[in-house]
Amino acid sequence: MDELLSLGAFELAQNIARKKITPLEAVEAHIGRIEAVNPKLNAVVAERFAAARAEAVEAGEALARGDKLGPLHGVPCSIKETFAFKGLPHTGGSWHRKGHIADEDATAVKRLRAAGAIPLGITNVPELAMWSETYNTIYGRTRNPFGLDRTCGGSSGGEAAIVGAGGAPFGLGSDIGGSIRMPAFFCGVFGHKPSGGAIPLTGHFPRAVGPSGRYCVAGPIARRARDLMPLMQILAGPDGLDVMTREVDLRPSEGVDFKDRRVLVLEDMKAALTVGPNHEMRIAVRRAALAFESKGAIVEPWWSPKLAEAVSIWSSMIAEDSVSFSDMLGGGQPPNYPVEFLRSVGGRSRYTFPALIFGAAEKIFLALGDKVARRFIDLGRALRGELEAALADGAILISPTHPRPAPKHDTPLLRPFDFIYTGIFNVLEVPVTAIPMGLGPDLIPLGVQIAAARGNDHLTIAAAEQLEAAVGGWSIPVRSLW
């Protein structure tokens, strides 16, 4: 059973297809792990173990009959609560949707199930999926499997936590400001933010509209890098419903040669309102660069002065023609912020403090006017062109995923804009993969993220595979969960 908790999704699928293990054995091993760790983590907020066992039995019978098998036949997984899953809660962490049950599966969920995957449950998110920690007034707080006193990140924090703990070989996340990559980094696993518009978000709540519908993306979180591209190939492509989704050319990640390939290094974004990366993160970036240099890559530094305005660029581009966060937070109209802040101090507000801060900040930012926002939107588009030009010849870019490893709970409130190390790449629409780089002090995961030009998802995933081979990738937590 312990061995099953270390195999990747497609390794499990191969072992099932070859009848070395049964789907039920794979499912039971991961249910057992979730039951062991979830009381401490609070990552899985609604389980479907009985249904998963029944589906595993059916999968075993299909295998015995010689039926045609999907690529994930009998493989367990987890699903972020923001994706609709028929019969399970679908609240997005919002108090106003407490008790809401999905009546059909999101497109991405349908595609995974059609490929043979067996979801074990849904996982926790921040309120309206808009904060770098995972907690809300419906489900409570999710903890990091590598340190229960540390954040698992957000908004796909429950996904990364249960995958990082060994409870699922992969999961489904979404990302508008780092919501796949930051939790993946904090929890020591792989996460891929695809090129904009690759995977339909039909059935996702909250739903981004306008240009931000391209910046918010769905993508996989996995314990093995080699699972990322096959998962992307299952998930990607239009569904006829999400107008932001487009056809993408997902080339294989195998066989990518890094000899003579340019590897750009962005060690410090130097963005206003943030502090530069700490020593451990800088070392992780340099180790990744050296790994590619040893393969004959041409390593060179890269930075743009436009990155100094990254926070304002992201905020302006996300808000362009978008739905009001304040309205969503209040269930149709903005909350009474002074009253709710006072209630929050006494622990009596129906809203989380970060969501109130975000909503109030949105109102202040919008009050600055269209002229200010337009200047930052134009600056963001210029930055996008500059980065695309730098990456045009098949180069990749290494940068920190965050200025520091997983912080203690609530401390992100003191440095709320550090998410921009991941967030800026959303509005630039480039593919980015978060990659674990071993464990640092206190056995907390280190990591980097690697970007490439739009449409070159195969390059960032290939880079993840190379670094997994060089550094070792994910390892099951050995301290905090025992």
Active-site residue set: 80, 155, 179
Angle subtended by helix axes 23-41 and 49-65, to nearest 10: 160
Residue type at position 460: T
Pairing mode of beta strands 217-222, 170-175: antiparallel
Name, in order, each residue with C-beta under 8 angstroms of 463's C-beta and a sequence gap of 6 or more: 256, 258, 292, 396, 433, 435, 450
DSSP state of 188: T
Distance from C-alpha of 332 to C-alpha of 214, rounded to nearest angstrom = 24
Please report which helix (H) or strand (E) contains residue 164, including its range: helix 157-164
Instruction: Give the CB-side neighbour count of residue 139, counting CA atoms within 13 A.
Output: 31
* 159 contacts 123 by C-beta, under 8 angstroms: yes
Distance from C-alpha of 304 to C-alpha of 396, rounded to nearest angstrom = 15
Name, in order, each residue with C-beta under 8 angstroms of 247's C-beta and a sequence gap of 6 or more: 237, 238
Pairing mode of beta strands 170-175, 76-80: parallel
Q: How many CB atoms lie within 10 A of CB 346?
A: 7
- What burial class does residue 72 get, using C-beta atoms within 10 Å of its C-beta: 0-12 exposed, 13-18 middle, 19+ buried? buried
Q: Where does 326-443 show beta strands of DSSP type E? A: 396-400, 432-439
DSSP state of 40: H
